[in-house]
Structure 1
Amino acid sequence: MSVPRGRRSSTFTRLLRHGFTDPSAAERLLDADALSAVRSDPLLLDALGATADPDLALLGLVRLAEAQERVSGETGRRELLDTLITAKPLRDRLLGVLGASEALADHLARHPGDWQALVTYEPRDLHPGVEEFERGLAEADDPVSLRVAYRRCLLSIAARDVCGTTDIAQTAAELADLATATLRAALTLARVAAPGDAAQCRLAVIAMGKCGGHELNYVSDVDVIFVGEAAEGADEGKALQAATRLASHMMRICSETTVEGTIWPVDANLRPEGRNGPLVRTLASHLAYYERWAKTWEFQALLKARAVAGDPELGAAYVAAVSPLVWQAAERDNFVPDVQKMRRRVIENIPAGEVERELKLGPGGLRDVEFAVQLLQLVHGRSDASLRSGTTLDALAALADGGYVGRVDAVQLDDAYRFLRTLEHRIQLYKLRRTHLVPEDDADLRRIGRSMGMRTEPITELNRAWKRHTSSVRRLHEKLFYRPLLDAVAQLAPGETRLSTEAARERLVALGYADPSAALRHLEALASGVSRKAAIQRTLLPVLLGWFADSADPDAGLLNFRKVSDALGKTPWYLRLLRDEGAAAENLARVLSAGRLAPDLLMRAPEAVALLGDPHGLDQRGHAQLEQEVLAAVGRADGAEQAVGAARGVRRRELFRTTAADIIASYGTEDQPVVADQGALVDRVGSAVSDLTAATLAGTLRAVVRAGWGDTLPTRFAVIAMGRFGGHELGYGSDADVLFVHEPRDGVDDQEAAQAANKVVAEMRRLLALPTADPPLLIDADLRPEGKSGPLVRTLKSYEAYYRRWSLVWEAQALLRAEPVAGDPELGRAFLDLVDPLRYPAEGLGDDAVREIRRLKARMESERLPRGADPTLHTKLGRGGLSDVEWTVQLMQLQHGWAEPGLRTTRTREALAAACAAGLVPGEEAEVLDEAWVLATRVRNAVMLVRGRAGDTFPSDGRELGAVGRYLGYDPGHVGDMLDDYRRITRRARAVVEERFYGA
């Protein structure tokens, strides 16, 4: 029928005003014959406008009316529409469901008589339980009819939800009760189908996860565990087989897709041994597994275990038997590393592009709340039975009542959790699909926002509220653990419920603190009192303590923080920096808890904390910049010792800059992900430490010359770096291998020049060897001609004479790393011109020289490895370690450097890449050697960072070994994997060395 233009314009406007986004389509639907009896009723338009999506609700209503007419004729359609107009509860419920759920609209279109399930009005305090849902499912006699009945029950839950008759906690509980009733109905169908199996066994179904916790989603896997026993007189083996068939059939009834779709998957992977374990076990078998093999996460999962179907006595016996095990989990030896591992695993499997839209697993998501609550339950629930609820919000309230969580924090977390769960429900309700992703489409966001009461600007309001709540959860997640600890020690509000000292100790132990009493003393010293400093510390510490707990040594992190705070506590900028610059606080926490070296450096130069708050504070500085600063500091000092002290001060600060940058890049922070390129990290450290060492030597040389001779030394003097120093590959604990060369100035007697040069060397070594708390800088000149028995410094002509007449092949090999680093640059270049023919011999090495190098390497392997050292784990001399790779690369340099310019470099990785480019070693083998060399270097750096002293093998102390593992990227509890990986990588490298170096 045609519509007058005036009426059309008026209706169009009204539809827009009522929230329709496609008024033209809505007009056509309103004009449909199916709505002829109600199209002009203003109550209908008002009710449609109150739904989440008026367009969707109107379309669903037309489909329902048409379907009702097909099934029941005109009478049935008229009954629906008359009831819709006259009964406001039905109108609100039916249209509310149709406007929020396309999937339930589809169900009503297929089963139009099911709208009758929404007719009965229920007061706000009347909510169905398992028995009511069982009655609603009672007539289902096959999987198809069970699905229809399930959706009919779901209709009433969704109606109460979208109309606000129930809150999120009640809705989730109703969904769990419906799931319980459905599991019982499915088990009944399975028993009817196999009465012989049913007679042989007792079978109990234990709900886990959100179903067990009475907080289920609209669409979620229903996690279960099956417990079976033989019926009286039955054989146990056959009974378990029968129980397994029943359990499998029950799972299929719920999970399989039929013409009516599916209900939800039944997931039994939380059972002992997961999908590899038997589907059904006896109670004794379950207990044997949990007592011997179970991991912490399995006890955490059992916290929500609830018997829901099957044999009630067996189910109750199972819950009673496992419950004590749950509350003993925090006493297990591996509890702390397991917890740390679980915390890191939260978002590792989320695709990178979905992290920010993930409601469940993303930062500030539902899992953060649930994990925090469950962890506190495991820690304190063993001594406080009031905390043992499987429902998140109930447990959170109990934790607040007991003083285990701050009341304000608990209220904020409760509010955030309710919002996020409501958002999750609204997303899933639309198509009844299992998802935790916030949609990106504006139409979806608009519908969800309106369904949650946001009507002015639903998309903007929804995004703003969502971000606010996730930010709140992220902020509270760590604060939840640690704020009550501070309240317990600060004692600023007498009379408030707070953690007991014993409960505080329990929590600290569970979070990784080995000495909780000392930790509490540190917290008291930092946070007690009413001073502004203490107030800021109480703001900072909840987050800092969480970062410390994420390290291998939380106790050291907290102790070091107290030391730094004591040293800088009266400095106005220190706490302000940590409070106002988020990156500074996290950077500091990572640095202070990663080992001894960086904190020791910081204690000697506390003001270097400022580097951690500067966006470019940890950027690497070049050699020229470093040398300029060191020389300027030396120039301002009085006397050589003060000058070298000034140079050491620059070195101390710059070493801290380098260690801090290395630690943060290796551990990662909230703002900076872990640097994946391990080779780049090694190159950065090697270059930074080598440049700093060169600048320190240049400053020391300047100080010695100025103190003894003024501006000009009687002889030109140069320092030549050797070994890793020359290769720009120094580690934190490496000695500086050097050669000294001098050349008398015009008119200066050779003897006078030699005396001056020797005095310079002696004074440099003395000054650098003066006792200091800084990491030592040892000069090693043993690579000079004649070794320890030869003169420390020679003229250029003396070097030339020696190398021409006496040089051995190992000396030519050592000279591959020679590079001038301090003193007269022209003299340094002249030295290189002198040794180039020796280290890059024309036509390469003869067979005798190659054999000699191999003999020397083999002798070194047999004689120099420390007694008792594991050759598979020694980074320098062990199998596939630094020496293996470097000697292999250096042999190629000696053989082919004369013909391949790329090989004429002092750097190992550069030379290896050049050898690969020149076809001297296959790419795959070059990668194997490079990986092993980088890993061995990283391990040496890690040992120095962790222990504060150099070492060539992994630490034996468990905590130190764990810290090395963290630096290398291994999760707590995985040091075995680290050692296995090291052995595997270096074993592969050794195979390449056997072929390429030894010619095997």
Structure 2
Amino acid sequence: MTAPGRRSSTFSRLLRHGFTDPSAAERLLESVELTAVRNDPVLLEALGATADPDLALLGLVRLLEAQPDHKARREVLDTLIAAKPLRDRLLGVLGASAALGDHLFRHPHDWQALVTYEPQDLHPGVAEFERGLAEATDPVALRVAYRRCLLSIAARDVCGTTDVAQVAAELADLATATLRAALAIARAAAPDDAALCRLAVIAMGKCGGHELNYVSDVDVIFVGETADGADEQKAVRAATRLAAHMMRICSESTIEGSIWPVDANLRPEGRNGPLVRTLSSHLAYYQRWAKTWEFQALLKARPVAGDLELGEQYVAALEPLVWKAAERENFVADVQRMRRRVVENIPAAEIDRQLKLGPGGLRDVEFAVQLLQLVHGRADTSLRSGTTLDALRALAVGGYVGRQDAAQLDAAYRYLRSMEHRIQLYRLRRTHLVPEDETDLRRIGRSFGLRTEPVAELNREWRRHAAVVRRLHEKLFYRPLLDAVAQLAPGETRLSTGAARERLVALGYADPAAALRHLEALASGVTRKAAIQRTLLPVLLGWFADSADPDAGLLNFRKVSDALGRTPWYLRLLRDEGAAAQNLARVLSAGRLAPDLLMRAPEAVSLLGDGEGVAGGAGGLEPRERAHLEQEILAAVGRADGAEQGVTAARGVRRRELFRTAAMDIVGSYGTEASPAAADQGALVDLVGGAVSDLTAATLAGTLRAVVRDGWGDTLPTRFAVIGMGRFGGHELGYGSDADVLFVHEPREGVEEREASEAASKVVAEMRRLLQIPSADPPLLIDADLRPEGKSGPLVRTLKSYEAYYRRWSLGWESQALLRAEPFAGDEDLGRRFIELIDPLRYPADGLGEDAVREIRRLKARMESERLPRGADPTLHTKLGRGGLSDVEWTVQLLQLRHGWREPGLRTTRTRDALAAARAAGLVGAEDAATLDEAWVLATRVRNAVMLVRGRAGDTFPSDSRELAAVGRYLGYGPGHVGDMLDDYRRTTRRARAVVEELFYGG
């Protein structure tokens, strides 16, 4: 009997070494089989290092019990204690696999397979495994020999002698040797059949890819041909009998269990098709009937047994078809749909535990890699590997996948495969589910070296890797560039000079020689940058060609690439980030404004992707709110040395944000992305007008802060506010619009009015000077001509001066102009009080008298006759022409002046909002309101298009044919439809003018 003190000490030691049932372990250590070593600290230390010390100790005692005599037991123990390599391997296997422990109990001499520990034994191949199976001449013996070989693989695995990829490759090699041995047994049992036929066994799936699990179906396809001129039908029948026998040998259970099922369901027609076909029959099927997934499966096809020459002929015959699969209609969508279908079919109770099929599982990695292989492997033979990790490495080397993404996928895939191996190794059962039992999870966690909290740590690491896989799978598997590359003709995926010149001409490039020089500069060489460009350019060329000026698009792309060539994120963004490449192609080929802005700040390319932008701006094309813009600009001004540097910093933010808005506008107009307003051109116009107006307001706020800070420090002697007028006040600025403003100030308490007025005048003068300093940025001109007394009046007045003027001298046109007044910068309280002052003027009680209405109509008619530029076509002038902006705006403003006092909805500075309110109030019929709205939106879009295309403002369509075509493309008119665009514009504005005649001029 064990003494209590000794028992307590042993109990504690067992707990420290990871035993979960110390009492049972104590009893096993007291067994007669361990008499010689029970007190040896080496044994206890080695048991504690295993995945499951309790299981390892039980397996060791059972192994010793199974030895035929005392001498054999002593040999096991002596070798175990003396030889650390054997100790680690034997106990490691016993602690990880109850099934292999059972095998050693049934075959007690097989432990000696673990004794050898020579360098050449570390990575055995097919030949070594064939030697291990050589003496197996019947199914039972084959199972025993197979488990003996498996024992050595598992030992190297659990001891870390081989990594997970090598383990998977060894398992595939063992499967190859087993298939050969099984076929040999089948042939020996039916020598007449063997003489009639040639039979090749093609490994598919994980076996074909050298990445097999411990327990998995081994997928195969059989190819049969005649031997020695035998009848083909007889030969195929003989081959079918041999193949079926070989499958039974591997799949059927005996006293030694089964090896693994051999699955031939990947063959043509699946279960409904013949088990064996001739090579010509296979070829005919794949040429005519095969589905997309069948070509994907053939990526891993590899001859492994039988007639290897025939097997090589099979692979060689089908390989060209595999690498043409991506050219099939809807290929990418089919593969994506198949992956989604797999996930949808997982039982709800299992989806969170699925290592293989679930979201973030092994299949996500495999599908993403295979899809990339099939799309890009047509032209790049380095990608044609059946092994997932090898293919992933090749994709990274070739630039098709980012190095960091590839490294993360590689690590995650290895971890998930290791988990799968350890789960299957325990019982040698086919499963891909993470167990729920705490004991099982603890064993798996400890097998990874996790000791403190093995279950929690295992779950944390597993979930982390699964999240990485899911994120990168979505990024790689669903990126738009893939579908575009897949749709290219085979010759277009590589840019050879001859083919490229022909393609450029066909796509509409006006100067193919210059385009070829750009392509050469971008894609020549062996650098990773050039490799990625070679992937991008064939697709980009087509996207550039979808514009009115493909040559300009390609030239601009080269300029941007030259500017950002050494920036690691640039090409990665285009390859990986959603629709970034397509968006860039649209932006660079849509005209001058956006590319000019981009050349001044190339890092703004990052805005076209899905992630975070650079230079302080959030990623994406959604316009930023005015508060955020103002905060950024004011912070930049605060860091600057002096007013000029402050305004330069503000202009830098403005440049980037103008590019963001222009890019959003172009992308939304082309409809290439689900932009905020892609489906509603009116909403897109509002979005652009609001974004440019907010940006102008933030820039003015920053300029005001810079001037005050430079001249007066923190506080100006007078309160000061900037009031937006015209299109600025209406949140309707275009890219080239001036900013109409009024300046108002109010002396602070204790400050004389003269001093306050001098300070306010200096502020205005300095703001205008700073904003007019020549630069390459689009100009921001302040126009104060709508002030009292116009150009003759002072630039800035006190609030009292405005009050006195409007009370005594205000004219009708000034009340109309004030309809657009809204404070945008400076003292908020002063701005609010200015609005309170002018509200009675712009929304006069009881509306307008007839005399006032007649005066407004007279002014409008005079403007039409006097201000339209000489020679301008009145049917195509967007501002002053028939049914243009002025017509619609004056009509709406007349309604506001007449009815604003009693219709709150009309009290807005925005034209479209006021028109909608007039319709809701019954002042305008729904059809007339829609007609006016359509004309106003169209005219605004034309003005925006002219600025985007030409890089300078204009109120009429360009005369240059290429520029006119570019405007048409922006408006949705394809090549050859410029005439339709002009006709549609004239028709829309003619209808609007008819409404204006009725509503404004009274019929």
Q: TM-score, normalized by length of structure 1?
A: 0.57
Alpha-carbon distance in 2 for matches of 1:157, 1:206:
23
Corresponding residue of 1:290: 286
Corresponding residue of 1:421: 417
Alpha-carbon distance in 1 for matches of 2:320, 2:605:
51
Alpha-carbon distance in 2 for matches of 1:354, 1:282:
41
- Greater alpha carbon shift after TM alignment, 55-64 vs 446-455: 446-455
Corresponding residue of 1:35: 34
Contact kept? 1:48, 1:95, Cα under 8 Å: yes
1:521-579 CA-to-partner distances (Å, cap 9, x unmatched) read 897787774599x888767655532x68xxxxx95797489989989989999959953
Alpha-carbon distance in 1 for matches of 2:41, 2:148:
29
1:83 to 71, 79, 84: 79
Corresponding residue of 1:680: none
Contact kept? 1:270, 1:298, Cα under 8 Å: yes
Corresponding residue of 2:643: none
1:626-661 CA-to-partner distances (Å, cap 9, x unmatched) read xxxxxx999xx9999999999xxxxxxxxxxxxxxx
Q: Shift of residue 162 of structure 1?
A: 0.9
Corresponding residue of 2:3: 4
Contact kept? 2:582, 2:672, Cα under 8 Å: no
Contact kept? 2:200, 2:222, Cα under 8 Å: yes
Residue 498 in structure 1 maps to residue 537 in structure 2: no
Alpha-carbon distance in 1 for matches of 2:544, 2:440:
46
2:303 to 294, 307, 310: 307
Alpha-carbon distance in 1 for matches of 2:235, 2:97:
44
Alpha-carbon distance in 2 for matches of 1:14, 1:609:
74
What are the residue-to-residue correspondences of 1:479-490 with 2, within 5 Å?
none
Q: In 2 relative to 1, CA 520–54 (structure 1 residues): closer, same or farther, beyond 3 Å?
A: farther
Alpha-carbon distance in 1 for matches of 2:60, 2:251:
30
1:593 to 649, 654, 673: 673
Q: Secondary structure at the match of 2:87?
A: helix
Contact kept? 1:329, 1:378, Cα under 8 Å: yes
Q: In 2 relative to 1, CA 640–136 (structure 1 residues): closer, same or farther, beyond 3 Å?
A: farther
1:765-822 CA-to-partner distances (Å, cap 9, x unmatched) read 664454424999xxxxxxxxxxxxxxxxxxxxxxxxxxxxxxxxxxxxxxxxxxxxxx
Q: Shift of residue 206 of structure 1?
A: 0.4
Q: Shift of residue 45 of structure 1?
A: 0.5
Q: Shift of residue 215 of structure 1?
A: 1.4
Q: Secondary structure at the match of 1:772?
A: helix
What are the residue-to-residue correspondences of 1:342-353 with 2, within 5 Å?
342-345=338-341, 347-353=343-349
Q: Secondary structure at the match of 2:528?
A: coil
Corresponding residue of 1:20: 19
Alpha-carbon distance in 2 for matches of 1:219, 1:512:
48
Letter matched to residue 94 of structure 1? L
What are the residue-to-residue correspondences of 1:685-834 with 2, within 5 Å?
706-709=896-899, 711=901, 764=929, 767-768=932-933, 770-773=935-938
Alpha-carbon distance in 1 for matches of 2:480, 2:920:
59
Q: Shift of residue 161 of structure 1?
A: 1.0
What are the residue-to-residue correspondences of 1:104-183 with 2, within 5 Å?
104-123=100-119, 126-183=122-179
Q: In 2 relative to 1, CA 239–538 (structure 1 residues): closer, same or farther, beyond 3 Å?
A: closer
Contact kept? 1:536, 1:575, Cα under 8 Å: no
Q: Shift of residue 226 of structure 1?
A: 0.3
Contact kept? 1:428, 1:435, Cα under 8 Å: yes
Alpha-carbon distance in 2 for matches of 1:182, 1:511:
52
Alpha-carbon distance in 1 for matches of 2:570, 2:160:
43
Structure 2 residue runs of 5 or longer lacking an equivalent are 486-518, 623-663, 692-728, 732-812, 823-888, 904-915, 942-970, 974-1003
Q: Shift of residue 325 of structure 1?
A: 2.4
Corresponding residue of 2:196: 200
Contact kept? 2:919, 2:926, Cα under 8 Å: no
Alpha-carbon distance in 1 for matches of 2:545, 2:297:
26
Alpha-carbon distance in 1 for matches of 2:434, 2:544:
37
Q: In 2 relative to 1, CA 644–147 (structure 1 residues): closer, same or farther, beyond 3 Å?
A: farther
Contact kept? 1:404, 1:484, Cα under 8 Å: no
1:249 to 245, 248, 251: 245
Residue 604 in structure 1 maps to residue 637 in structure 2: no
Letter matched to residue 129 of structure 1? G
Alpha-carbon distance in 2 for matches of 1:272, 1:240:
15
Q: Shift of residue 473 of structure 1?
A: 3.3
Task: Give the alignment's Cα RMSD to 1 decimal.
Answer: 5.1
Letter matched to residue 24 of structure 2? A
Residue 263 in structure 1 maps to residue 265 in structure 2: no
1:130-170 CA-to-partner distances (Å, cap 9, x unmatched) read 12212222222332222222111100110111112212222
- Greater alpha carbon shift after TM alignment, 211-220 vs 601-610: 601-610
The count of residues paired between Structure 1 and Structure 2 equals 660
Alpha-carbon distance in 2 for matches of 1:509, 1:429:
49
Residue 396 in structure 1 maps to residue 392 in structure 2: yes
Q: In 2 relative to 1, CA 105–376 (structure 1 residues): closer, same or farther, beyond 3 Å?
A: same
Contact kept? 1:641, 1:767, Cα under 8 Å: no
Q: In 2 relative to 1, CA 214–601 (structure 1 residues): closer, same or farther, beyond 3 Å?
A: farther
Contact kept? 1:490, 1:528, Cα under 8 Å: no
Alpha-carbon distance in 1 for matches of 2:439, 2:98:
13
Q: Shift of residue 601 of structure 1?
A: 5.7
What are the residue-to-residue correspondences of 1:944-983 with 2, within 5 Å?
none
What are the residue-to-residue correspondences of 1:605-684 with 2, within 5 Å?
605-606=686-687
Q: In 2 relative to 1, CA 120–764 (structure 1 residues): closer, same or farther, beyond 3 Å?
A: closer
Alpha-carbon distance in 1 for matches of 2:407, 2:524:
19
Contact kept? 1:644, 1:700, Cα under 8 Å: no
Percent identity at matched positions?
63
Q: In 2 relative to 1, CA 229–710 (structure 1 residues): closer, same or farther, beyond 3 Å?
A: closer
Contact kept? 1:522, 1:558, Cα under 8 Å: no
1:902-934 CA-to-partner distances (Å, cap 9, x unmatched) read xxxxxxxxxxxxxxxxxxxxxxxxxxxxxxxxx
Q: Secondary structure at the match of 1:190?
A: helix
Letter matched to residue 15 of structure 2? L
1:544 to 574, 577, 588: 577
What are the residue-to-residue correspondences of 1:792-941 with 2, within 5 Å?
none
Q: Shift of residue 467 of structure 1?
A: 3.3
Q: Which has the larger radius of gyration?
A: 2
Contact kept? 1:514, 1:555, Cα under 8 Å: no
What are the residue-to-residue correspondences of 1:565-580 with 2, within 5 Å?
575=607, 579=611
Letter matched to residue 18 of structure 1? H
Q: In 2 relative to 1, CA 261–515 (structure 1 residues): closer, same or farther, beyond 3 Å?
A: farther
Alpha-carbon distance in 2 for matches of 1:573, 1:384:
28
Corresponding residue of 1:446: 442
Corresponding residue of 1:58: 57
Letter matched to residue 544 of structure 1? E
Residue 185 in structure 1 maps to residue 208 in structure 2: no
Contact kept? 1:26, 1:55, Cα under 8 Å: yes
Q: Shift of residue 287 of structure 1?
A: 0.9
1:387-409 CA-to-partner distances (Å, cap 9, x unmatched) read 32222222333334444444444
Q: Shift of residue 101 of structure 1?
A: 0.9
Q: TM-score, normalized by length of structure 2?
A: 0.57
Q: Secondary structure at the match of 2:223?
A: strand
Contact kept? 1:133, 1:177, Cα under 8 Å: yes
Q: In 2 relative to 1, CA 26–239 (structure 1 residues): closer, same or farther, beyond 3 Å?
A: same
Structure 1 residue runs of 5 or longer lacking an equivalent are 549-553, 611-631, 647-698, 714-735, 743-756, 777-946, 950-1000
Corresponding residue of 2:453: 457
Alpha-carbon distance in 2 for matches of 1:521, 1:436:
52
Alpha-carbon distance in 2 for matches of 1:499, 1:20:
57
Contact kept? 1:560, 1:599, Cα under 8 Å: no
Q: Shift of residue 228 of structure 1?
A: 0.6
Alpha-carbon distance in 2 for matches of 1:254, 1:357:
29
Letter matched to residue 268 of structure 1? A
Contact kept? 1:406, 1:484, Cα under 8 Å: no
1:275-330 CA-to-partner distances (Å, cap 9, x unmatched) read 22211110001111122222333222212111111112211211222223223333
Q: Shift of residue 271 of structure 1?
A: 1.2
Alpha-carbon distance in 2 for matches of 1:433, 1:77:
30
